[in-house]
Amino acid sequence: MRPLSSGRDREPRLTVVGIPGNRRTTLFQDAVRAAGLPPAREVSWLDVLRGRAGFAAGETVRIDSPGEDPEVDRLLRGAEDSTRVEGTGRWYERFTAAARELGERARGAGAELLDDPEELAVLFDKRLCHGVLDAAGVAVPESPTSGADAPAVHGWDDVRALMAGAGLRRAFVKIAHGSSASGVLAVQIAGPGRVRATTSVERDAAGRLYNSLRVRTYTGERAVAAIVDTLAPDGLHIERWLAKGTVDGRSADLRVVVVAGRATHAVVRTSRSPMTNLHLGGARGDLDAVRAETEASGGSWSAALALCEQAADCFPGTHCVGVDLMPSSDWRRFSVCEVNAFGDLLPRLTGLPGSGAEGLDTYAAQLAALPRRAVRAPEEGVACRAPR
């Protein structure tokens, strides 16, 4: 585990590409101010998408999420209603194209990027990301749709066949370019016609799909197939539904933030549903209790953090990632289900003991790691390039 820098060789000229005034940009600017640095120059995603963004030599450019802005979402997805689930395939094409153009402009001007656009293209495709992790030997759930050569999934019939071919009776079916559990279904198949899916997707009478804050269960093959068939044009990823460890009778997993190759922050997420996302009724769990349970069960907390760092090392051009870490039901083993490019929004969470980020939130830890951050060339990790 490489230490975070405690000093500054130079004061970076920071620029953040994001949504001005939203919580992510505000928290980052708060950390910049607390570090005694000049405010970061803000470049809006609207300007990026309209071809008006410019950069300068010597700038250090952070690319943040384009989410939580209705106009940006409309330009990326081509839909007026931001609560709709459909449209993520179009969103991905437009987002990755804009990120690549942004990167070319920034590098052409002599600026340094903290987020490699080619790696973002992999991180935002669950199939590609799973394939990269698997090729690097990172423990991941089994998947019949892993990697660039994965078979296309055109609808429920393909999901059924791929699950059967992989011997899966329980699987997570996810839209390939989704986030925050949007379009995720926890599917169980008990026999002919005996199918149920737990999801936050709400389907209206016209068959349109919406994101909901309420997790619900659909029963019967026809109901599940109708949702899957609607999602399929945007691309689907399938992976084994692993039994997770529990905390006070609730399923548990962790979001671990890795900065410049080092695990710095972790939060336990617990839920009574298969989705532990905090906005879907999940609750933060006791991290000390999880560490104690892991060690008492014969597992290794340090090995769990090392697994997250191994996953992050697959994306050497990305300064910070959020790793979703799943404990086995006996707490002896861990696996990685996703790596998130913008997985650092964890307000008021401070660094892990011994991480070098004690007392720092996720944004302050990223700033502290800047002066001497390792410049990890892609060839040192797994090649992370999305097919165009």
Per-domain residue ranges of the chain: 13-120, 156-240, 243-380
Residues 238 and 70: their CA atoms lie apart, in Å, by 29
Cβ atoms within 10 Å, residue 54: 10
Cα three-residue angle 375-381-387, rounded to 5 degrees: 105
Encoding tokens for residue 319?
Answer: 């300064």
Name the nearest CA neighbour of 368 among 37, 19, 22, 21: 37
* Helix residue ranges, H only, 35-185: 45-49, 70-77, 88-109, 117-123, 126-135, 156-165
C-alpha radius of gyration, the chain, whole number: 20
Q: Please, what sign has the CA dihedral across residues 380, 239, 178, 309?
A: negative
Domain 243-380 CATH assignment equals 3.30.470.20: yes
243-380 shares the fold of 13-120 = no
User: Within its chain, how far is the Cα of 40 from the centroid?
Assistant: 24
The CATH classification number of 13-120 equals: 3.40.50
Residues 123 and 132: their CA atoms lie apart, in Å, by 10
Half-sphere exposure of 308 (CA within 13 A, CB side): 29
Per-residue pLDDT tens digits of the chain, which is 388 residues long: 333 444 445 677 999 999 999 999 999 999 999 999 999 999 999 999 999 999 999 999 999 999 999 999 999 999 888 899 999 999 999 999 999 999 999 999 999 999 999 999 999 999 999 999 999 999 999 999 999 999 999 999 999 999 999 999 999 999 999 988 899 999 999 877 799 999 999 999 999 999 998 999 999 999 999 999 999 999 999 999 999 999 989 999 999 999 999 999 999 999 988 888 878 778 899 999 999 999 999 999 999 999 999 999 999 999 999 999 999 999 999 999 999 999 999 999 999 999 999 999 999 999 999 964 544 444 444 455 565 5
Pairing, β 194-203 against β 185-191: antiparallel
pTM given for the model: 0.92
Encoding tokens for residue 151?
Answer: 């078979």
